[in-house]
Structure 1
Amino acid sequence: LDKQLNYWDRQLAELPQVHSLPLDYERPQYQTFNGATHIFVTDADTLKGLQKIVKDKKVTLFMLMHAAFSLLLSRYSNNNDIVIGTAVANRRQKELESLIGFFVNTLVLRADCSGNPTFSDFLSQIKNTNLDAQENQDVPFEHLVERLQPDRSTSHGALFQISINMNNNETEILSLPDVNLSPAFNEENDQSSVKFELTLGIAEASDGLQLSFHYNKDLFKQSSIERLSRGLLVLLEDIAKNPEKKLADIQVITASEQHYLLQTLNDTESKYHNNLCIHQLFQQQVEKTPEKIALTFAGQSLNYQQLNQQANQMAAYLLEQGVEHETVVGLYLQRSMAMVVAILAIHKAGACYLPLDSNQPISRVNFIMEDAQIKYLLTNLDTTDLQTDHIQLMQLNDKKQMALLKTYPSENPQPKKAHKTNQLAYIIYTSGSTGLPKGVLVEHASVMAFNVSLRQQWQLLDGGKTSPWLWSASYAFDASVKGLLSICAGRGTVLASESEAKDPHALVALIRQHQIGIYNASPHLMDLIIDELNSETTGKQYFPDLILGGEQITASIFAKVQNYCKKHQRQAINAYGPTETTINSSFGIIADSINMGKPIANSRAYILNNDLKLVPKGSVGELYIGGLGLSRGYLKRPELNKQYFIEHKFAGEKTPQRLYRSGDLVRYNGDDCLQYMGRVDEQIKIRGYRVELGEIEQQLLQIAAVGNCVLLLREDQAGQQQLVAYVVLTDHNQQTAEQIKSIRDSLAEKLPDYMLPAVFMRIEQVPLTPNGKVDKKALPKPDAADIQGQYTKP
């Protein structure tokens, strides 16, 4: 058997330990065998087409069905490495042919669905796989498991969990006088026990293929299996018509499902101010409520008329200095009324603003200024370390400068070039994969399109009341634009100071003082805000509705938000969106499950595989975003623009759409909401398993001893990749090592060994960037990265 054993060693090297087919229910810790069966059939024409392929390609019908089933699983799981088991008679030796006994063995068939060959070429590959497996079938399956030693788990079978069986036995037709007998093959004879998680059964008949999915109903819903069966029928029909199609072009989605994914779920068209820029919308509000308070900061306020006049005077000055259409004007400012005045003034002058965060390293600020080639900089800070040799400075903390501004006209200025909605509104720099930040170019039209969704969110939460908005986000973060739009909507804005924006206690004091009806923050900041709101020592009680956005909501924060809303009869929204798609591209009311909601007004969402094909509903793929919110792209980054902003035409469409590639892995849940599954670049593989770090983080956060956590893949001292869990503990009195051991034991009850972090590090709090996101670069490296499952002191 040595030759056969060597074959299996090669064939099953680095075998995926468990399939990637999306499950409807969480996999239980201990494998169950509760089964159900779904029966479906092809038509006669499809069978004839398949039989012709079998004859032309000199393969068996089983080989063809194995190829088709592997391709189906690949498309539904978004994975190219497909493993299926099948039973063989194992009677190759002539001496066994006449013996009575059970000699059946199980073969592991592995299919590589990558490379996009034609189906005919793929079928040839599958033919060779089957012939080679048959040639090496003498190795007992149990011996193979023992030799390969896969990571064993009580939650699933070893080597494979999906199987395929074909009934080639001729059916004996029985006849009795005056009685007609036929085999029973219907859903009434539903089998109640399963050996594998999913089995495709195949039987050839004169009027078509009789197919069945025998599945574990503790893992799959009937509706999902029915969708899978429809996908197989579509795939077989497509193959029967043209076996020379490339794998990526073979259909696995019905026409009605494709229409649902493309059109029904993206029916988001809404009217918006498509003829106005941000400052023009503001000017309309000035005319409506000139005496109403528009902006409050540090105990001082400006009404709409005063704010407009100051912005007009500054705009007139900028125009006189040479600022014109789409001139990039840098802002290097501390929070102040002048910051908001400057943004409106830049827009009124027809220019765009570039916010520079004074909390960031000077080297980064200088890089951004050089990259954007700004010629004008408005500031109220010390600029000694900035490279401003070729930049015209306007000091907003200089008394003479501010006195000069007051001499300019307070009427709305008229720039030489008329305002258009497709002109730039702002440039915001985000982190780049190369280590250098990249500037995102956002037009007024995109902000106006988003404004529809923002007002819809307000309407859902407070019924359209006009309580002021608390602007706490950094102006270098696009969530800050909501503060500007709140002014334009007549709600007015309270601007938090630099110190207040970093202090949950101070923010809650502002919320209560100004009766802020809706508060917007990142999940990690909101976690602290809710604690402060629930505190009985912070004075008069007041509880706003909430909007969370900017990063994924962890399970513990989600539970805290749920409890807050239930306790205080409030609502919360989870809003999602990259800067490249203008603030938000989806949102949903937080209810029973963590999700990203549905596409916002004038936005579209498509979940695609690596071949840019729609994935079936419920399957995981990368989120591509279209619609009016798409930014112009990246400043002077043609290669990045080509990579992330694509032109794509779906089947049946006459013209291509412009789409943004988000890098986020998502799926549709049962309520047609987008569900975050991880990042394309954070999906890792450990010992043959595909692992989403977010899944492990969510399980950690369900443990009472864990207040917060972050999971990273790091190299140990030997250069090997390992998982490191950074945990914030809730009990400050118990010994750290004892808590870590308890956490690891609890995690081991929920997750298989391969998903357990190798190292646990206690941290006092999760480090955040100025924008309120997790700062993973600030997390310390373990001191003893080779200690399995031990607590490592930072």
Structure 2
Amino acid sequence: VWGVLLQKYNNSSDVVFGSVVSGRPGEIPGVEHMIGLFINTIPVRVQSEPGESFVELMKRTQRQALASNAYDAFPLYEIQALTEQKQDLINHIMIFENYPVEQQVEQLGGDGQDKFTISNVVSTEATNYDLNVVVMPGEGIKIRFMYNALSFDQAGIERLHGHFARLLEQISLNPHVRVEELELLTVAEKQQVTAAFNDTACAFPSHQTIHQLFEEQVAQTPDQVALVFGHQRLTYRELNERANSLARILQAQGVGPDKLVGLMVQRSVEMIVGLLAVLKAGGAYVPIDPEFPSSRIAYMLEDSETTLLLTRRELAEEHHCNANTLFLEDAALYQGESGNLEAIARSEHLAYVIYTSGSTGNPK
């Protein structure tokens, strides 16, 4: 389960953490008579496969764990040297504290004798790792997180604990659940993500249009930079004046409320100027990717019944466009009257029409 938690955190199906072993395998002759500290830290690797259930992962990991018992006394630095990752193979450890002290004490206190007790015990532990996950099995499993307060804060550890408990709950209810279906978020976190973080409702002037709101910003910060493309920069005033000049030409071409104007150009200053100009003229724009095949572009222009196409000369020639066309690189489009136009489009009018990719047929 801890391995699955790490996989979720790291977005990886292959994780490694440390495990502390006693280092006293029963196969060693006379091991029960040997005095000394045999404890060793070994890496545990948990790898899941696509579509694998938790039960399948657990059985396979258990087989690997049993096979690795033969290497419990192998020094960690030598194991690390044999891996591609020559250092920092593990950065935290899991420890099972399985000391049968309580059972021994209960046995000593049998037969009507006073129970044997130990009091005033103080234990001091030191570790080289910033996080120790201590598991104490019994009638119920206790899990203790010991951490370096310089590396983790209490809130982070509590969140970690909540995710670990959430996995355990799901697995206990359905051990055959697929690993990728397991969720980390607690009920409280899910509520926070779906409700609290998305509580973005706010009042806005719904009676106004996009270009009217833009014009209000122009009035507030006319000399601030509004648009950057490569080495090109336009202030709010410059962008507004260019769009106004082009919008008057569009109106002279018959553009007005709910009239569609094609906009076929790569990302550029002209794209934004053209978009704003169409809105200011009261019309709606139809974005057309110039990378589309010519046949698809012709279909979109015909199907949408656009009255006018804004593009660049080389693109129009490349796609053999026959529509009424204005070329956005033409400086004359931006030399006319540059004051704001009278607002003729209201909030209920069209702003744009966008086509689907049409991967299985014509765009919709």
Task: Name the TM-score, length of structure 1 as normaliser.
Answer: 0.34
**Is residue 424 from structure 1 mapped to residue 352 from structure 2 by the alignment?**
yes
Please give the residue correspondences for 1:231-250 in structure 2 after superposition, counting only pairs within 5 Å: 231-250=163-182
**Is residue 89 from structure 1 mapped to residue 17 from structure 2 by the alignment?**
no
Question: Counterparts of 1:402 and 1:271 in 2: how far apart (Å)?
Answer: 35
Cα deviations across residues 528-579 of structure 1 (Å, max 9, x unaligned)? xxxxxxxxxxxxxxxxxxxxxxxxxxxxxxxxxxxxxxxxxxxxxxxxxxxx
Alignment counterpart, residue 201 of structure 2, candidates 260, 269, 292: 269
Q: Does the Cα contact within 8 Å between 2:275 and 2:285 map onto a contact in 1? A: no
Q: Does the Cα contact within 8 Å between 1:324 and 1:350 map onto a contact in 2? A: yes
Q: Which residue of 2 aligns with 1:636?
A: 357
3-state SS in 2 of match to 1:111: strand
Q: Which residue of 2 aligns with 1:344?
A: 277
Q: Kindly state the Cα deviation for residue 111 of structure 1 after the two structures are TM-superposed.
A: 0.6
Q: Kindly state the Cα deviation for residue 352 of structure 1 after the two structures are TM-superposed.
A: 0.9
Q: Does the Cα contact within 8 Å between 1:333 and 1:378 map onto a contact in 2? A: no
Q: Kindly state the Cα deviation for residue 310 of structure 1 after the two structures are TM-superposed.
A: 6.0
Question: Counterparts of 1:398 and 1:146 in 2: how far apart (Å)?
Answer: 67
Taking structure 1 as reference, are residues 84 and 424 closer, same or farther at Cα in structure 2, changes over 3 Å only?
same
Q: Does the Cα contact within 8 Å between 1:84 and 1:110 map onto a contact in 2? A: yes
Q: Does the Cα contact within 8 Å between 1:343 and 1:353 map onto a contact in 2? A: no
Alignment counterpart, residue 200 of structure 1, candidates 104, 111, 133: 133
Q: Which residue of 1 aligns with 2:144?
A: 212
Question: Counterparts of 2:348 and 2:189 in 1: how far apart (Å)?
Answer: 39
3-state SS in 2 of match to 1:327: strand
Question: Counterparts of 1:317 and 1:234 in 2: how far apart (Å)?
Answer: 65
Question: Counterparts of 1:319 and 1:366 in 2: how far apart (Å)?
Answer: 24
Amino acid at match of 2:95: N
**Is residue 126 from structure 1 mapped to residue 61 from structure 2 by the alignment?**
yes
Alignment counterpart, residue 48 of structure 2, candidates 110, 113, 130: 113
Q: Percent identity?
A: 17
Q: Does the Cα contact within 8 Å between 1:315 and 1:346 map onto a contact in 2? A: no
Cα deviations across residues 436-479 of structure 1 (Å, max 9, x unaligned)? xxxxx5xxxxxxxxxxxxxxxxxxxxxxxxxxxxxxxxxxxxxx
Q: Does the Cα contact within 8 Å between 2:263 and 2:274 map onto a contact in 1? A: no
Taking structure 1 as reference, are residues 261 and 255 closer, same or farther at Cα in structure 2, changes over 3 Å only?
same
Please give the residue correspondences for 1:743-782 in structure 2 after superposition, counting only pairs within 5 Å: none
Please give the residue correspondences for 1:221-620 in structure 2 after superposition, counting only pairs within 5 Å: 221-274=153-206, 276-279=208-211, 313-319=248-254, 325-330=259-264, 343-346=276-279, 348-352=281-285, 367=291, 370=294, 372-373=297-298, 376-378=308-310, 383=313, 387=317, 389-394=321-326, 420=348, 423-424=351-352
Q: Which has the larger radius of gyration?
A: 2
Taking structure 1 as reference, are residues 139 and 369 closer, same or farther at Cα in structure 2, changes over 3 Å only?
closer
Q: Kindly state the Cα deviation for residue 164 of structure 1 after the two structures are TM-superposed.
A: 1.9
Larger RCO: 1 or 2 (CA < 8 Å, sep 6+) = 2
Question: Counterparts of 1:82 and 1:308 in 2: how far apart (Å)?
Answer: 55
Question: Counterparts of 2:64 and 2:29 in 1: how far apart (Å)?
Answer: 26
Q: Does the Cα contact within 8 Å between 1:85 and 1:163 map onto a contact in 2? A: yes
Q: Does the Cα contact within 8 Å between 1:328 and 1:353 map onto a contact in 2? A: yes
Q: Kindly state the Cα deviation for residue 110 of structure 1 after the two structures are TM-superposed.
A: 0.9
**Is residue 144 from structure 1 mapped to residue 74 from structure 2 by the alignment?**
no
Q: Which residue of 1 aligns with 2:97?
A: 167
Cα deviations across residues 296-333 of structure 1 (Å, max 9, x unaligned)? 999xx89x9x999967743433337x996443134799
Taking structure 1 as reference, are residues 179 and 317 closer, same or farther at Cα in structure 2, changes over 3 Å only?
same
Alignment counterpart, residue 8 of structure 2, candidates 72, 75, 83: 75
Question: Counterparts of 2:128 and 2:196 in 1: how far apart (Å)?
Answer: 38
Q: Which residue of 2 aligns with 1:100?
A: 34
Cα deviations across residues 751-782 of structure 1 (Å, max 9, x unaligned)? xxxxxxxxxxxxxxxxxxxxxxxxxxxxxxxx
Task: Name the TM-score, length of structure 2 as normaliser.
Answer: 0.66
Let me know the Cα RMSD of the aligned residues. Answer: 4.9
Q: Which residue of 1 aligns with 2:227?
A: none
Structure 2 regions of 5+ residues with no counterpart? Answer: 224-232
Question: Counterparts of 2:315 and 2:184 in 1: how far apart (Å)?
Answer: 59
Q: Kindly state the Cα deviation for residue 160 of structure 1 after the two structures are TM-superposed.
A: 2.1
Q: Kindly state the Cα deviation for residue 209 of structure 1 after the two structures are TM-superposed.
A: 1.6
Aligned residues: 323
Q: Kindly state the Cα deviation for residue 112 of structure 1 after the two structures are TM-superposed.
A: 0.7
Question: Counterparts of 2:123 and 2:349 in 1: how far apart (Å)?
Answer: 61
Taking structure 1 as reference, are residues 212 and 281 closer, same or farther at Cα in structure 2, changes over 3 Å only?
closer
Q: Does the Cα contact within 8 Å between 1:201 and 1:212 map onto a contact in 2? A: yes
Q: Does the Cα contact within 8 Å between 1:194 and 1:216 map onto a contact in 2? A: no
Q: Kindly state the Cα deviation for residue 100 of structure 1 after the two structures are TM-superposed.
A: 1.4
Amino acid at match of 1:101: I
Cα deviations across residues 115-171 of structure 1 (Å, max 9, x unaligned)? 24222222111211111112454644444344447423xxxx4x3222222122211
Please give the residue correspondences for 1:694-713 in structure 2 after superposition, counting only pairs within 5 Å: none
Q: Kindly state the Cα deviation for residue 258 of structure 1 after the two structures are TM-superposed.
A: 2.1
More strand by share: 1
Question: Counterparts of 1:259 and 1:249 in 2: how far apart (Å)?
Answer: 19
Q: Which residue of 2 aligns with 1:725?
A: none
Question: Counterparts of 1:161 and 1:327 in 2: how far apart (Å)?
Answer: 59
